[in-house]
Amino acid sequence: MHEAGSEWLADVRAALATLRTAQVQLAAGPEKLSLLKEGLQLEGQLHTWLAQLSAHVDATEVAWQEHGTSTATWLADAANLTRREAARLVAAGQGLARFGMVAAGAAWGAVLPAQAEAITGVLDALPDDFPADVVAQGQELMVGFAATHNSTELRRLSSRLLEVLAPDTVEEREEARLEREHRLALRNRFLKFTYDHQGSVLISGSLPVAEAEPLIRIIDSYAAARKRGLDRLDPNAEYVTPAMNRADALLAMVAHHSQESLAPNHGGDRPRIVVTLSYDKLAKAATDAGLICGQLVGSAEPVPASLLRQWLCDADLMPAVLGGPSEVLDVGRTQRLVTPAIRAALELRDGGCVFPGCDKPPWACHAHHRVPWWAGGETSLSNLALFCDHHHPIVEPSHDPTADRWRVEFREDGIPHVIPPKRVDASQRPRLHARFLTRLRT
C-alpha cells in the first residue's frame, strides 16, 4: 500500500512538472484564467486528501506509536509547520470525517478548504438533538451554498440554516446558539504578539464581540482625537490610511498609560522597555548621527539609533554590571521577593525563560529560586533564573530529594542550564537555551 501511495504521489509530481512547461506560459488570457481557477480547485482537492490523511493518522495514533508524540506535534517538526498550522490540518480532516457530503464536495473540488472549514463549523454548531436526516439536509444545503458564498459568508448562515431546518423553534434555538457561541468565544479568547524579525510585531487575537466593543470604541476615540497639524501641509507627508490611524491610536493609548503610570506593577517593577547598550555606544547614540543600535531585552530585536535618541529624552538609566559593584544584586536572606535591581539583572542575563525551546519573554516569566527559599536559598542572582508559568513548576524542586525531576543548575560563567530527569535522558546531559549558544558564538 505504501508503494502504491508513493507511485500516486509521483504521478502528481509528474503532472505538476508538465504544468510548468512553456505551453502554460504561452496560453491565451482566458485560458490562463481558467487554469488559475481549476488549479485552485486541484489544490483544494489535494489539501482535502492531506487533511483526511492527517485525521486518519491521528485517529490510528501512528505518530504516537512511532515517535511518542501527537500527530500535530510530529507534523510541526517533520514538515516545518507551526503547531497551529499542523493542528488546523488535523482538525480540518476530523471535520470532513464527521460530515460525508462536505467531504465528497471537497474531494471533487466543489468545496474549497476554507469553505469546508466554515461549513463543518456551522454544522458542528447545530443542536445535538437534530436527527441524522436533518443534519444530512443541512449538509446538502451548505454544500449548495458553497457555489455562491465564500467562507466568511458561509459562517454567517447559521441562523438561516436553523430557519430552514427547524422553523418552529428557531427563536429558542437561536438564543441558545448565541449563548453557546459567547461561552465558546470566552473560552477561545487570546492575544498574541509575534516578532517578524523585520522590524515589526504582528498582533493577532480573538475576543468575544460584546467584550471587544469597549476596546474598539476606546481605540476609535483615540483615532478621532489624532488630528494632523502643520505636517498636513508637507507635500512629502505620509498618507495615513484609516487602518494606519487605528494602529497609531493603539500606540497613543499605550503611551498615555505609560506617561500616567496607569498600568500595575509586573515582576516587581513597573512595565518598562529595557535596552542593553554599552556606555560608549550610549553616549555616541545621544550625540552622534552614526548607525548605533541597542537591543531589546527579551525579544533580542535591534533598536535603531533614531529611536534610541528619542527614548533618551525621557529614560531611566541603570548601570548594569553583572557581578560588579554598581548595583546591589545580592540581598541574601533579608527578603524573599526579587528587588527591581535583581529583576533587571535577571532580564539582562537570561533574556526570557531559560528552558530550552521556550520563547517566552522576560516579562512573562517568574524569578525562580534554584535552592528554594524554604530550603535556605538566597534571593541573589546566582540562585535565580527566569522561567515562564508553564516551565516554572516543572523545575521547582520537590521536598523529596530522590524525585526524578527537571532541575536548573548554573555553569561556572553564571549562565543557567537545565538538567533533564533520567526518564528523559539517562546521562542527564545539561541543556542550554539557544539564546545563550548564540551569544557564545558571537
Give residue-wise pLDDT tens across range 37-63. Answer: 888 999 999 999 999 999 999 999 998
**String of DSSP letters for 300-316:** --EE-HHHHHHHGGG--
Q: Quick one: cell of 419?
A: 538538567
Q: Packing angle between helix 170-187 and helix 209-225, nearest 10 degrees? A: 70
Average pLDDT over residues 208-217: 88
Task: Provide the 10 A C-beta neighbour count for residue 246.
Answer: 15
Q: Is the pLDDT of residue 327 over 50?
A: no
193 DSSP β-pair partners: 203
Take residue 132 and report the three cell numbers written for it.
Answer: 441524522
Q: 347-406, pLDDT tens digit by residue?
A: 888 888 998 888 788 887 888 888 876 667 788 888 899 988 788 888 887 667 777 888
- In this structure, the number of other CB atoms found within 10 A of the CB of residue 156 comes to 11
The more confidently predicted of residues 171 and 3 is 171
Higher pLDDT among residues 16 and 316, named by residue: 16
How many residues appear in the chain?
A: 442
Instruction: Say yes or no to pLDDT of 219 above 70.
Output: yes
What are φ and ψ of residue 386, in 5° steps?
-85, 130
Q: Are 397 and 408 in contact (CB under 8 A)?
A: no
pLDDT band at residue 329 under the 50/70/90 scheme: very low
- Per residue in 96-135, is it b (16+ CB within 10 Å) or e — as a string? bbebebbbebbbebbbbbebbbbbbebbeebbeebeeeeb
Residue 416 to residues 25, 356, 385, 408, 427, Cα–Cα distance (Å): 57, 11, 7, 7, 18
What whole-number distance in Å separates Cα of residue 362 and Cα of residue 354?
A: 10
Residue 168, pLDDT score: 79
| Range from 205-209, 323-327, 352-356 carrying the lowest mean pLDDT | 323-327
Roughly what angle, to the nearest 10 degrees, separates helices 132-145 and 100-107?
Answer: 30
| Residue 442 pLDDT | 47
DSSP symbol at 266: B
Sheet strands (E) in 277-381 = 294-296, 302-303, 365-369
Confidence tier at 83 by pLDDT (50, 70, 90): confident
Signed CA dihedral, 108, 110, 115, 120: sign only: negative
How does residue 236 score in pLDDT terms, banded at 50, 70 and 90? low
Which of 47-56, 112-121, 197-206, 227-236 shows the lowest per-residue confidence on average (mean pLDDT)?
227-236
Cell of 387: 522561567
The pLDDT assigned to 94 comes to 96
Highest-confidence segment of 98-112, 203-217, 220-234: 98-112
* Rounded Cα–Cα distance for residues 162 and 221 (Å): 38
Alpha-carbon distance of 394 to 389, in angstroms, equals: 9
Amino acid found at 175: E
Full-model pTM: 0.50
**Rounded mean pLDDT, 155-181:** 79
User: Measured between alpha carbons, how far is 109 from 376 in angstroms, rounded to an integer?
Assistant: 67
C-alpha cell at 122: 456551522
Q: Please tell me the distance from the alpha carbon of residue 324 to that of residue 326, in angstroms, as a whole number.
A: 6
Examine the pLDDT at 438 and tell me if it is beyond 80: no
- The pLDDT-based confidence of 220 (bands split at 50, 70, 90) is confident
State the chain's mean pLDDT as an integer. 79
Q: What is the DSSP string of 6-29?
A: HHHHHHHHHHHHHHTSHHHHT--H
Asked whether the predicted pLDDT for residue 230 surpasses 50, the reply is no
Is the confidence at residue 291, as pLDDT, over 50? Answer: no
